[in-house]
Each structure stands twice: as C-alpha cells, then as structure tokens.
Chain A
Amino acid sequence: MLQTGGKLKYAAILLVTAMLALSACGSKPLHTSKWQDDGDEMRPGPGLFSGEDGEFVITPE
C-alpha cells in the first residue's frame, strides 16, 4: 500500500497530465504574471510616476 507521500507523487504526475489534457481543450492564454511568477513578484500595472506601464523605459534615440 502506498504511503501518503507516494500517493501525492502520483497526484503530481496526474496533475501534469491533466495540464496537458486541458491544453487540448478550447481556451485562451492567461497573462503570464498570473501563473508563472512567484507569489511575491511585482504585479504588472500602472505606476504613480511611471504611468500606464508601471515602469520607466529608456530607449535609444
């Protein structure tokens, strides 16, 4: 009989499989900041001084 940890490892594999299965269904991309970033990352959005993009961008002339 599997220990709790073993069951959960299989659950993890099942979760990955579910991800791939869900990918085959009709859906739209989710903004990367909602699912790829660490929990305490700075979120995209406007800034008090930098405006809509939330960052000062320096570009070549």
Chain B
Amino acid sequence: MTDLLKNKIPTRIGRAGLLLGAMALSAPMLMAQPAAADDISDLKAENATLKGQIESLARDLQQLRDAVQQNGQAVADVKAEAAAAGPTVSSGEENTKLAISGQVSRMLFYADDGDQTRWFNADNDAASTRLRFVGTTKMDDDWTAGATVEVGFASNSSADVTIDQNTSTIASNSFTERKLELWFANKQLGKLSLGQGSSASDGTVEEDLSGTGAISSSGYSGLGGSLPFRLSGTRGTSSGVTPGDMFDTQDGLSRDDRIRYDSPTFAGTKLSTSWVDGDEWDLAARYGREFDGTEVALAAGYWDASPTAQKTGFGLSASVKASFGTSLSASYSNENIEAVGRNNEEFWYVKLGHDFTVTDIGGTAVSIDYSQTKDQGANGREGIFYSLASAQSIDKLGAELYAIVGVYDADLAGVQTEDTTMGGFGALVKF
C-alpha cells in the first residue's frame, strides 16, 4: 500500500502539474478567443465597407469613362459637322452668299531709260493688288441678282514710277475703284449691270490664251508707262513723251459708270452693249469655244466716245491655243480722232505663247510679243514694244511667279530718243 501510494502519488502530482501547466499556458488563449472573433467581425465589416467603396469607385470610374467617350464623340461630331458645312454666318436670307477674294501682286521692277537705271519695289500694273466682294442671291430657278465691290490698291505702281522719284508715288497709295455695281441676270434674257464696271467693249482687244497674263498683257501692260523717253545725246533730257502717252491698246471704253446689257451665251457667242455716263456707248461681240482640245477666243467691239473724248473706235482680237499648249494671239484697234488734221490712232500686236508642265507644282507659260502703235497722242509718232515673259504657277500656294524683260522704242517727229528697257520679276498671290 505504501509502495502503491509512494508510486501513484508522485505520478498523479506530475499529471496534475502537467494539467495545471497546460491550463496555465492555454488560459490566455482561451481568454483571448472572444477578442479574436471581434477582430474578424470588424475586419469583415471593414472589408465589406471597402468592397462597397471600391464598387462605388468603379461605378464612378465607369461613369467618367462613359462621359469622356460621349464628350469625345460629341467633339468629333461637331468637327465633322463643321468640316462638312464650312464656316457659316447667318444672313437671314436663303439662297444668298457673299464671296470675298483678292490678290497681292508685287515685283522688283527695273528700268533703264538710256540715261539712268533704277530698281523699284512696285505693284505689278499688269495684274494689280486688289480686294473683291461679290454678293449673290438666287431669286428663283431663272433669276439671280448680285452686287460687286472691287477695289485696287497699287502702292508704287509699276505704271507710275519714274527714275527721278524720291519716294513712292503718293497719288497711287490709296484705294482706286474698279467695280462698284449691281446686276440682275436671267438664264433666258441675259444680264443687266448698273454702276462702275467694265463697258461692253472693255477687253475686246485683249483676248489672250497664252497663260502669261499675270505679267504680260495684250501688247502693253502699263509697266514703265510713266518713264519719259530721253532725247539721244543730251545726257538725259526728257522728251516729254512717255510709253503711256503712245502705247494705248485702245481697249474700248474701259471701266466707267455705265448701264450694260449682256445677252445669254448662244453656242459660244455673247453680244453686249453699254451706255456710259457722258452719253458714250459701245457694242461688242465675243466668242469662245473648244474644238478637240484647241481653244478659240474671239472678240470685236465698236465704241463712240464723241461727246466726251471726241473719238470713235473699233477693235478686234483673236487667240487660238492648240491642245499641245502653243498659242497665237493678235489684235488690232483703230480710233478716229475728230480733231481737225488728226490722223487715226492705231495699235496692233501679236503674241506667241506656249504653256507646259515641267514640275508638279503647277503649269509654266512663256510668251514673246511684239506690238506697234501709230499716231497715238500726236501725228507722226510711232512706237514699238516687244517683250519676253514667263509665268510659273504654284497651285498649292495659289500663287504665280513671273518675270519679264521688254523694250520700248519711240519714233517721235523731229527728235531722236533712247530706247527704254524695262524688266523685273515678282509674285502674284491670291488669298
């Protein structure tokens, strides 16, 4: 028994110790179990909250994405609509439009009058700087009405410059009228124009298909028109006569305040007449057609300026351009001066041109012309002008580069004069 007690008691004490130790060790854990459950619950709650927030943010993000996409589509729609419609301004009227256009034409112009030479920074008088507004309204299928305002602004015009000038010619540094007119047109009845503009005969001696019109007009372009011829052997004494005095192309009644009627075009033919302020009047016929690539332009005019300028005149011109680019143009005009003892004034010219394509930037044109005048300004005067010209189009810039060199030769009664050589190069830019 004693042995039994001796053996069992220590064993039981040991087991109790172990049990107590285990309890001691596990007590904190057992005591901590309720706290861990709370944390998990909190974590679950936080997780749920965060999940909600994330889902909310995701919804917001999706909404933002949708809004950005909608805005992008709206901007694209507006751009496409603007591109399709073009810039618009409300006028309050349907079937109307206002077209604004113009050009700047500047050149470096050279003149040698036989005594002195000089370079000028000038406006090209053959195709001067200008601005144009054309308003048009279509009243119905047949009737159209409109108004045109076109003004020039030729600073230091190549037609006005003189060797002795100190500054730009002040008189030319302002707007000058070209067209200020109203018009009504009917497909069957023709067109009626009222105001400042081209008379019927204006341009009838200027048919020209050469393609060098930006610098070389039909015989005389006004370039150097105010440079006086110098008397030979006098060290520059002026003759008092300029190219402008004796190289008039006699282009009908030009532009003036008039009422003008143009017939409808019938098989390429158009007839015109105008009555000009001062009781002048004129008639003109024009023709333009293309035959298998060959272009034909013809014109003829008669004008009566007796009440104002005491003269009547007529002129005709023709230009033919073959399909391979070579053109031939010619004109003749004659004015009967009513003053006693005055001879008729005459002008004629011929021009050979060719246009071709050497680069893809635009067409190239060259021409050579010769013109002659007789008795212009006074009996006994004869003038000769000849020139070589070229023009290069730059289609992407709406521009033409041009160059010219020409000679005026005057034969004046009783005196010997020096030839005047002129030339230059420049650019015409349509804007």
Binding site for B on A (CB under 8 A): 4-5, 8-9, 11-12, 15-16, 18-20, 22-30, 32, 34-40, 42-43, 45-50, 54-61
Contact = CB atoms under 8 A, between A and B. Distances in A.
Contact of B289 (A30, A36, A42, A56): A30
B190 interface: no
Contact of B132 (A35, A42, A58, A61): A42
Interface of B: 86-94, 96-103, 126-128, 130, 132, 134, 198, 202-203, 206-209, 213-214, 217-218, 251, 255, 265-270, 285-291, 295-300, 302, 314, 316, 318, 332, 334, 336, 344, 393, 395-399, 429-431
Contact of B213 (A9, A25, A43, A55): A43
A38 B86 CA distance: 31
A55 B100 contact: yes
Contact of B295 (A16, A30, A54): A30
Contacts of A20: 267, 269
Contacts of A58: 87-89, 91, 97-100
A24 to B, nearest CB: 7
Given A18-B298, A24-B267, A57-B97, A5 B429 contact: no
Given A56-B99, A57-B98, A60-B93, A34 B297 contact: yes
A45 B88 contact: no
Which of A5, A18, A38, A60: most chain B CB closer than 10 A? Answer: A38
Given A5-B344, A36-B288, A12 B316 contact: yes
B395 A46 contact: yes
Given A11-B316, A29-B265, A38-B202, 9 more contacts: A5-B344, A8-B316, A12-B314, A28-B290, A29-B288, A38-B251, A47-B398, A47-B430, A58-B88
